[in-house]
Amino acid sequence: MIRGERSNKPTDEDLIEQFQNGDLYAFDLIVKRYKNQLLNFVYRFIGNVEEAEDIVQETFLRVYRNRKAYQKVAKFSTWIYTIAGNLAKTELRKRKRRKFFSISDLGYDDKDYDIADEAFNPEKTVDSNIKEEIIHREIQALSPKFREVIVLRDVQQLSYEEISEIVSIPLGTVKSRVNRGRLKLQERLKRLLKS
Amino acid sequence: MDTCKRFKKLISDFIEGSLSKSDRFEFEKHLEHCEGCHSVLEREKRLIDGLHHLGHLNTSKDFDTVLRTRIRIESGIGRRRLNELVWTWPAKIPVYGMSLALLLIAFVMVFEQIKEQNKPVIPQPYVNTNWHGGNPDQNTFPKTYTETENVIYMIDPLDPQQLGDGSYNETEGTATFGIKSNFGDSLEDKRETSLQSIRQVVY
Ligand SMILES: [Zn+2]
C-alpha cells in the first residue's frame, strides 16, 4: 500500500467515515485493505475459491450499499467480517439444499488465483503443499460451527473478543469451541503432526 | 486421569498463557511424567503453527473491475441508464456515434446455463470503467465467474453489436437481452446451444 505508508495512515474507521461522507476513493482503500484477508477467511470457511471470491464481492457490495448503517461504536473489521461470515453461512445452507437436487461435484479450477506465498517461495516444497492440502481438507471436515471459529482464530489470528462479536456468541463459548475444534483437528491430523 | 481431561480442556489457555499460576504449575508438573498429554501438547502447537502458515490466496486480477461494475450497476445512474437504454434501444442505434461519449458503463452479465464443457472462448469486449482511481490495467479483463455454472462477462450495452432486444423488469431488477452478433465468433457459435438468456445483475 504505497499511499498508506505515510505516517498518519487512516484507520479503517476513518476510511468508512470518509466514505459515508461521499469519498469513493476511501471505499477503494477499504477494498484494497480487506479483499485478500476476507477471501482467505471465506475460502477456508467454505472451501471453494470461486464461491469465496463471489462472497467477498457481495460483502463489499453490502458495505457499499449499507455504508450508512455502520456506526463507530463497533470496529469496522468486526462489521465487515460479520457480513462476510453471514454470507458464507448462507452459502453453506444453500449448498446443503442443492445437494438434494444435484449430484454434480463442485469442481473448480483455480488457475486464476495466485497462492501468494507459494508461487515464488523455494522453501515451500511439494511436500508442504500436500500438507496444506490435507490440513485444508480436514478443516472442511469440521462442522461449520467449529470451522468458523478455528479459521477466525488460527488462520486469521483474530482475538477471542473480536470473534465473539463476529459470530455473536459469548466469549466463553468461543474459547471452548476453539479448544474443542483444535483437539478434533489434531486428532484427525495425528499422522501429519507427528514429527 | 482427571488431570489429563482437565489439561485437554485447558490446553488452549495453557498454550496462550492465560492460565492461573497454580493451574499452570500443576500442568507443568503433570507434563513431566504424562506422555499422552505431552504429545497432545506437541501436536497442538504444531497444528496452530500449521494453521498460521497456510498459504494466502489473492483475489483474481479482475476482482476490482467486476466489483466496480457491479456497484455502477447498482448506483442510480446505472439503473436509470439501463432503463432508458432498454426501452429506447432502436432510437439509440442511429446516434451510436454520438453516444460514444456515454461509453462509460460496463455491465456485468450473467450468462445462465453454460455448461462446463460449453464454456465459450471469452471475447474481448469493450470495457470502459472510467472509475475514480481506476487502474487501466484492470479495465480489460472479462471475468470468468463461477457461481455454479454462471459466467459473467463485461459487455458494453451501448454497443449494438453486442446486445439485441431486451426487456427490463424494475421490480425484479433484472433485464433480459438477446445476444445479437459479433460477440466473438466462438461465443456466437455456442449461443444456440448454451446460452438461453442473459440476466442482468442488478442488486
Ligand atoms: Zn496426562
Ion ligand 1 residues within 5 Å by Cβ: B 4, 34, 36-37
Mean model confidence pLDDT for chain A: 86
Flag whether B57 is in a domain: no
What's the pLDDT score for residue A100? 62
Is the backbone of residue B108 left (phi > 0), alpha (psi -120 to 50) or beta? beta
Q: Are residues B35 and B97 in the same domain?
A: no
**Domains of chain A: residue spans and CATH:** 8-103 (1.10.1740.10), 116-195 (1.10.10.10)
Mean model confidence pLDDT for chain B: 59
pLDDT at residue B112 greater than cutoff 90: no
Tens of pLDDT, residue by residue over B190-202, are: 222 222 233 332 2
| Mean pLDDT of the B105-127 span | 37
Contact B44 A186 (CB under 8 A): yes
B56 CB neighbours in chain A (<8 A) are 36, 40, 115-117
Tell me how far apart the alpha carbons of residues A138 and A48 are, in angstroms, rounded to a whole number: 14
Tell me which chain B residue has its CA closest to the CA of residue A36. Answer: B58
pLDDT at residue B125 greater than cutoff 60: no
Domain of B35, in residue numbers: 2-45
Take residue A56 and report the three cell numbers written for it: 467477498
Q: Are residues B40 and B68 in the same domain?
A: no
pTM (predicted TM-score): 0.64
| Mean pLDDT of the A156-181 span | 97
Quick check: B127 and B114 in contact, CB under 8 A? no
SS3 content of chain B, % helix, strand, coil (to 5): 45, 15, 40
Contact B52 A157 (CB under 8 A): yes
What's the pLDDT score for residue B4? 96
pLDDT band at B169; cut points 50, 70, 90: very low
pLDDT band at A194; cut points 50, 70, 90: confident
| Mean pLDDT of the A33-49 span | 97
Q: Chain B 30-69, CB below 8 Å of chain A: which residues?
A: 40, 42-44, 46-48, 50-52, 54-61, 63-64, 66-67
Quick check: B76 and B153 in contact, CB under 8 A? no
Of B12, B58, B70, the CB nearest to A57: B70
Instruction: Pick the more confident residue, B119 or A164.
Output: A164
Q: Are residues B141 and B161 in the same domain?
A: yes
Tell me how far apart the alpha carbons of residues B142 and A111 are, in angstroms, rounded to a whole number: 15
Query: How many CA atoms lie less than 13 Å away from A86 in the CB half-sphere?
Result: 11
Instruction: Pick the more confident residue, A39 or A4.
Output: A39
Contact A63/B at CB under 8 A: no
Flag whether B16 is in a domain: yes
Flag whether B152 is in a domain: yes
pLDDT at residue A24 greater than cutoff 80: yes
Tens of pLDDT, residue by residue over B32-63, are: 999 999 999 999 999 999 999 999 999 999 99
Contact B55 A115 (CB under 8 A): yes
What's the pLDDT score for residue B72? 85
Flag whether B89 is in a domain: yes
| Residue that is last in its domain, among B98, B117, B136 | B117
What's the pLDDT score for residue A107? 42
Contact B12 A178 (CB under 8 A): yes
Flag whether B157 is in a domain: yes
Centre of ligand 1 to C-alpha B63, Å, is 50
Flag whether B191 is in a domain: yes
Instruction: Pick the more confident residue, B107 or B46.
Output: B46
What's the pLDDT score for residue A14? 95
Flag whether B155 is in a domain: yes
Q: Are residues B143 and B181 in the same domain?
A: yes
Quick check: B128 and B195 in contact, CB under 8 A? no
Quick check: B163 and B179 in contact, CB under 8 A? yes
What's the pLDDT score for residue B74? 75
pLDDT at residue B103 greater than cutoff 90: no
B9 CB neighbours in chain A (<8 A) are 176, 179
Q: Are residues B67 and B101 in the same domain?
A: yes
Tell me how far apart the alpha carbons of residues B109 and B198 are, in angstroms, rounded to a whole number: 7
Count how many domains chain B has.
3
Q: Are residues B186 and B133 in the same domain?
A: yes
Contact A54 B145 (CB under 8 A): yes
How close does chain B come to A104, measured CA to CA in Å? 10
Flag whether B54 is in a domain: no
Contact A55/B at CB under 8 A: no
pLDDT at residue A121 greater than cutoff 60: no
B10 CB neighbours in chain A (<8 A) are 179
Rg (CA), chain B: 28
What's the pLDDT score for residue A129? 85
Q: Are residues B131 and B113 in the same domain?
A: no
Centre of ligand 1 to C-alpha B92, Å, is 79
Q: Are residues B85 and B139 in the same domain?
A: no
How close does chain B come to A60, measured CA to CA in Å? 8
Instruction: Pick the more confident residue, B20 or A73.
Output: B20
Of B10, B57, B64, the CB nearest to A31: B64
Contact A92/B at CB under 8 A: no
Tell me how far apart the alpha carbons of residues B9 and B1 are, in angstroms, rounded to a whole number: 13
Tell me how far apart the alpha carbons of residues A105 and B1 are, in angstroms, rounded to a whole number: 45
Tens of pLDDT, residue by residue over A139-151, are: 999 999 999 999 9
Q: Are residues B86 and B133 in the same domain?
A: no
pLDDT at residue B170 greater than cutoff 50: no
What's the pLDDT score for residue B80? 55
What's the pLDDT score for residue B123? 37
Tens of pLDDT, residue by residue over B135-157, are: 333 333 333 332 322 333 334 33
Contact B47 A115 (CB under 8 A): no
Q: Are residues B30 and B81 in the same domain?
A: no
